[in-house]
């Protein structure tokens, strides 16, 4: 096979580090639904939330909106890319932030610590199995009646989901990338499958509350 024309997958942290400077503008102006999605996500964070977990927090665009509603809320943010965390820290020097550079698959989360967890456009890179394991960890980290809010790239048809996962597998094989290595490639799931994964992880309720373009927000509740 001639691999010269094959797209080259980049390690996840390298991909986002190289794009850190223009990330905010890209998300706000180029990705349909995100500008409104940040606001919608903030509106669904329970007002009685005492501590928040942000998975894949990046430069903190969702926190920009959440802090408008809950300006004093302590936040634990996890992200693979230090350059992104540096920008978040610089923007919100006055906030109570614990920022962790690492994989949210590996970082230990204290049981029952968080009242709300959020993620914005970060989960569409992983398999159903990886998400189920992660969501179970998130579920356990939430307090009673805790809420998980996910805004992500989702598709409507199973055929679309199958195409992206098949193409990702093909490209990883071409580059000899191991299963446990994080490389950037979009593998969006259907809304229906995302809700099933959340319920399989333990969440009693999960519903779609917003969709614009492919940007979709799900709210899941621990009861």
What is the rounded distance in angstroms from the CA atom of residue 114 to the CA atom of residue 106? Answer: 17
Sheet bearing 97-101, strands edge to edge: 97-101, 75-79, 52-55, 114-120, 142-153, 215-221, 205-212
Q: How confident is the model at residue 1 (pLDDT cuts 50, 70, 90)?
A: very low
Q: What confidence score (pLDDT) does residue 143 get?
A: 97
Mean pLDDT of 100-129: 97
Q: Would the pLDDT of 5 be above 80?
A: no
In the predicted structure, residue 16 carries a pLDDT above the cut 90: yes
The reported pLDDT for the residue numbered 4 is 43
Domain 12-221 has CATH 3.10.20.30: no
Taking 3-state DSSP, the helix, strand and coil percentages for the chain, each rounded to the nearest 5, stand at 40, 25, 40
Beta bridge partners of 52: 75, 116
Inform me whether the pLDDT recorded for 82 exceeds 50: yes
Q: What is the mean pLDDT of residues 105-114?
A: 98
**Helix axes 34-44 and 61-69, enclosed angle (nearest 10):** 40
pLDDT digits (tens, 9 = 90+) for 160-181: 999 999 999 999 999 999 988 9
pLDDT at 105: 97
Assess whether pLDDT exceeds 90 at residue 219: yes
Q: Please, what is the average pLDDT of the chain?
A: 95
Predicted pLDDT of residue 180 = 86
112 Rama sector, left if φ>0, alpha if ψ -120 to 50, beta otherwise? left
Write out pLDDT tens, residues 59-79: 999 999 999 999 999 999 999
Residue 6 is predicted with a pLDDT of: 56
- The token pair that represents 28 in the structure block: 């706000």
Q: Mean pLDDT, to the nearest integer, of 43-60? A: 98
| Contact between residue 188 and residue 153 where contact means Cβ atoms under 8 Å apart | yes
pLDDT of residue 110: 97
204-223 mean pLDDT: 97
At residue 2 the predicted structure's pLDDT band, cuts being 50, 70 and 90, is: very low
207 phi-psi bin (left φ>0, alpha ψ -120 to 50, beta other): beta
In this model, does residue 127 exceed pLDDT 90? yes
The confidence score (pLDDT) of residue 78 equals 98
Confidence of residue 3 (pLDDT cuts 50, 70, 90): very low
């Amino acid at each position: 096979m001639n691999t010269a024309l094959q797209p080259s997958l980049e390690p996840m942290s390298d991909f986002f580090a190289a794009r850190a400077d223009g990330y905010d503008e890209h998300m706000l102006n180029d990705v349909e639904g995100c500008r409104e999605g940040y606001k919608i996500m903030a509106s669904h964070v329970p007002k009685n939330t005492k501590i928040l977990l942000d998975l894949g927090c990046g430069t903190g665009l969702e926190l920009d909106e959440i802090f408008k509603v809950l300006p004093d809320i302590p936040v634990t943010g996890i992200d693979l890319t230090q350059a992104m965390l540096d920008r978040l820290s610089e923007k919100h020097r006055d906030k109570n932030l614990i920022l962790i550079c690492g994989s949210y698959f590996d970082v230990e989360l204290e049981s029952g610590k968080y009242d709300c967890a959020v993620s914005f456009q970060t989960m569409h890179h992983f398999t159903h199995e990886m998400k189920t394991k992660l969501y179970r960890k998130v579920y356990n980290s939430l307090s009673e009646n805790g809420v998980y809010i996910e805004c992500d790239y989702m598709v409507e048809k199973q055929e679309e989901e199958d195409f992206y996962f098949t193409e990702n597998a093909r490209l990883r094989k071409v580059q000899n990338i191991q299963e446990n290595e994080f490389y950037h490639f979009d593998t969006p799931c259907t809304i229906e499958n995302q809700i099933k994964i959340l319920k399989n992880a333990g969440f009693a309720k999960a519903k779609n509350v917003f969709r614009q373009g492919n940007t979709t927000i799900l709210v899941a509740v621990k009861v």
